[in-house]
Structure 1
Amino acid sequence: MLTYVDESYDRDRYWMVALVVAERHLRPLHLALDSVVRKAADSYPVEADAELHGHALVHARDDWRRMGEKGSNMIRARIGVYADAMKAIAAHDVGVLVRGLDLRAHRSSPPTERDADASPHRIVLRHLLEQICDHVQARDELALVIADEIDGADDHRRHFRDYQIEGTGGSLSSTLPCLVDTIHFAPSKSSRLLQAADLIAYLHRRLVSGQDGDPRARRANEKLWSFVAPSVVHQHCFVPEHPLHDG
């Protein structure tokens, strides 16, 4: 199985999403997402190779900017493209795993020894890798992890190798036996399946943050999420605990 990882965060929480795709569905899902963009290109001012990117679709940025120009703000059309993509994802054999970190609690809690110098990205990625391994192990499968390219990729590969040798640490330490090779990093522009992970991660963060004050926008996002909700197999935000002090 191949697993595609992307992140989305704000001041309060750092989220990462893993999209685990069964081998026989890799190419069909890729082609289905290509078809979503081609369909949009047939009707709207967007190129057939446009990147499916959550923020860009919602706010008419980058490849989708011409669908938001003055006098032609096609918000309904852009949300329609988002919906088509989410339906395409849900129509295939995929599992969605969501892990988060409460950043306020993280900043105000003394770090554990293993997380003393760890970034939120590293902490959440470690938790996510453990869950990916549990998920594919339950299916008697192996998985290769592909993540959106990020600064510090070499460090993340080194940490991954350390986990495979020494374990992830904690009370449920794992050597990630179901994850093979290393973490591969790729530009999302070149991968429809990384784009799928981005769409899910961005939408999830918007929903849980409550940033949409407009009830219509929230209902639209809840509708988008409903397409992939049945595919969600894990969803949790880690809240570091404050140590107890004697009074």
Structure 2
Amino acid sequence: MVLLTYVDESYDRDHYWMVALVVAEKHLRPLHRALDAVVAKAADHYPVDRRAELHGHALVQARDDWTRMGNKGHNMVRARIGVYADAMKAIGAHDVRVIVRGLDLRASGVRRTDGALPPHEVVLRQLLEQICEHVQVRDELALVIADEIDGADDHRRHFRDYQLAGTGGSVSNTLPWLVDTIHFAPSKASRLLQAADLIAYLHRRLVSGQDGDPRARRANEKLWSYVAPRVAHQHCWLPGQSTGPLVEPAPTNPA
């Protein structure tokens, strides 16, 4: 069986995070339909198009497809969080696995222009290694689909280099359980990429502690609780340490 693995990122000045949502083929269509239903439900009650993209930042900040739920007279914070909750419940209700990898930018020196690798490349390489390990244990294969970004050709080339020569480091990995190449697609067209985005954005907000309001923190922890049982791996790498599981997870048990 080939597992479809959807990848998206979220970052701030201190950390760079990437999330992989691993989905078995038989769950692709049911999860897609469930997320379509989340948006359709919102469209039945609020000024939202049924084709609206489930995007973490846009939902929380009332931007893009969700702008009309933030206009004067339509300040529907609870409603937008309700949509976010419905989407997270839909993801958590399906047999998926979530893999989270991060990089501590404060310790890495990647902000310097001294030849250090870009954070996206560093975290993606480690994420690919972890996806490979995850599917190997299950004796399955994985196809990786990522949100389209600038430099996609470079990432495909790096992926091919890893397959030929290994990922480097103390334990080099030729990613034998990952098939084909990395495929890049617009998140607007993929509910599964949107699901990865929702998870990545929420995880970053929780770990960063940017929500000083205890009510917002509790709301985010509640949202996270819907997918927490599906998390197979969480790790933030500090350069100089091994790339093993030094875990800095978002809370799995909300306060």
TM range (shorter): over 0.9
Query: Amino acid of the residue matched to residue 120 of structure 1?
Result: P
- Measure, in 2, the Cα distance between the counterparts of 1:94 and 1:181: 21
- Measure, in 2, the Cα distance between the counterparts of 1:195 and 1:4: 9
How big is the shift at 1:42?
A: 0.4
Matched ranges for 1:28-177 at <5 A: 28-107=30-109, 116-177=115-176
8 Å Cα contact 1:109-1:240 kept in structure 2: no
How big is the shift at 1:45?
A: 0.4
- Measure, in 2, the Cα distance between the counterparts of 1:76 and 1:4: 28
| Count of paired positions | 239
**Taking structure 1 as reference, are residues 167 and 22 closer, same or farther at Cα in structure 2, changes over 3 Å only?**
same
Secondary structure of 1:33's match? helix
Q: Which residue of 2 aligns with 1:237?
A: 236
**Taking structure 1 as reference, are residues 92 and 59 closer, same or farther at Cα in structure 2, changes over 3 Å only?**
same
Deviations 1:144-167 (A, max 9, x none): 000000000000000000000000
Question: In proportion to residue count, which structure has more helix?
Answer: 1
8 Å Cα contact 2:6-2:22 kept in structure 1: yes
Structure scoring higher RCO (CA < 8 A, sep ≥ 6) equals 1
Deviations 1:198-238 (A, max 9, x none): 00000000000000011100000000000000000000000
- Measure, in 2, the Cα distance between the counterparts of 1:26 and 1:100: 26
Deviations 1:65-116 (A, max 9, x none): 00011122101010000000001001111110000000010118999xxx95
- Measure, in 1, the Cα distance between the counterparts of 2:90 and 2:237: 30
Q: TM-score, normalised by structure 2?
A: 0.91
Query: Amino acid of the residue matched to residue 237 of structure 1?
Result: C
8 Å Cα contact 1:101-1:239 kept in structure 2: yes
Q: Which residue of 2 aligns with 1:245?
A: none
- Measure, in 2, the Cα distance between the counterparts of 1:20 and 1:177: 17
- Measure, in 1, the Cα distance between the counterparts of 2:90 and 2:182: 26
Q: Which residue of 1 aligns with 2:249?
A: none
8 Å Cα contact 2:109-2:116 kept in structure 1: no
- Measure, in 1, the Cα distance between the counterparts of 2:230 and 2:41: 24
- Measure, in 1, the Cα distance between the counterparts of 2:111 and 2:57: 31
- Sequence identity, in percent? 81
Query: Amino acid of the residue matched to residue 30 of structure 1?
Result: H
- Runs of 4+ in structure 1 off by over 6 angstroms are 108-111
